[in-house]
């Protein structure tokens, strides 16, 4: 029996939401509104293009791909907004740096902070690999890159995290 769209929601909503939640970690303030809006947008886009999904394709990887696009475009919007308000952004950065200094005593907060400072693609790769448990062929497929590139992105991120942990010792 062909896959029905409602099954897609029931099977994959939770993991796609968790993925977006993690990608939007830095932007989250109170509650989950960004991830919630994004996951709804993901399923709306998926609904509109579901008819074009080939029967032999992997619907889970397809949803991750849409989710990644949605998150990228949201993060780009946020970045543009910050650029436009550059003077305000500078002061926000200073405030951020000051607060980073305070929380850096806490290793978990430092890891979080480092993750949030990674380029979006690196963050997406490492989140997909180690938090969403996707394998490299799937990551490469949904990000539209080679497996080597996906591995390299994860490697770079892990290397930075490892250094951070070594500094902490």
Partner 1 sequence: MTTHKSKNEAAVVKQLRSALSSPTETALAHSRARVRKWFAEAAPLIQWGEMSSPLGPLFAAVNQRGLCALDFGRRENEFLARFDPLARLEKNPKALARVLAQLREYFAGDRSSFNLLVDISQLTPFQRSVLDVACRIAPGQVWTYHRLAKELGRPRASRPVGGALARNPIPIVIPCHRVVASDGSLGGYSGGTGLDAKRWLLRLEGAL
Residues of this chain that bind partner 1 (CB under 8 A):
1-6, 9, 13-14, 17-18, 21-22, 25, 31-32, 35-36, 39-40, 43-44, 47, 50-51, 107-109, 111-112, 115, 126-127, 130-131, 158, 161-162, 165
Nearest Cα to 152, choosing from 138, 140, 165, 134? 140
Nearer CB in complex with partner 1: 11/89: 11
Min separation Cβ 146 and partner 1, Å: 21
Nearer to partner 1, 30 or 84 (CB): 30
Minimum distance from residue 33 beta carbon to partner 1 (Å): 10
CB of 164 to partner 1, least distance (A): 9
Find the shortest distance in angstroms from Cβ 29 to partner 1: 14
Distances (CA, A) of 33 to 10, 80, 131, 150, 151: 20, 20, 21, 29, 31
Residue closer to partner 1 by CB (options 5, 90) is 5
Whole-angstrom Cα distance, residue 132 to residue 25? 15
Distance CA(151)–CA(146), nearest Å, equals 9
Locate all alpha helices (DSSP H) within 24-146, ordered by sequence: 33-49, 59-84, 86-103, 107-117, 120-126, 136-143
């Amino acid at each position: 029996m062909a896959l029905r769209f409602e099954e897609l929601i029931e099977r994959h909503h939770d993991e796609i939401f968790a993925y977006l939640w993690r990608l939007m970690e830095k932007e989250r303030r109170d509650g989950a509104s960004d991830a919630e809006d994004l996951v709804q947008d993901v399923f709306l886009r998926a609904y509109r293009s579901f008819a074009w999904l080939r029967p032999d394709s992997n619907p889970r990887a397809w949803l991750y791909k849409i989710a990644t696009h949605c998150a990228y475009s949201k993060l780009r919007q946020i970045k543009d907004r910050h650029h436009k308000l550059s003077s305000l952004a500078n002061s926000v950065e200073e405030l951020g740096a000051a607060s980073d200094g305070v929380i850096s005593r806490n290793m978990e907060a430092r890891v979080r902070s480092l993750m949030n400072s990674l380029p979006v693609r690196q963050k997406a790769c490492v989140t997909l690999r180690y938090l969403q448990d996707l394998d490299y062929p799937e990551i490469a497929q949904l990000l539209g890159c080679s497996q080597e590139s996906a591995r390299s992105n994860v490697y770079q991120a892990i290397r930075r995290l490892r250094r951070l942990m070594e500094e902490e010792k």
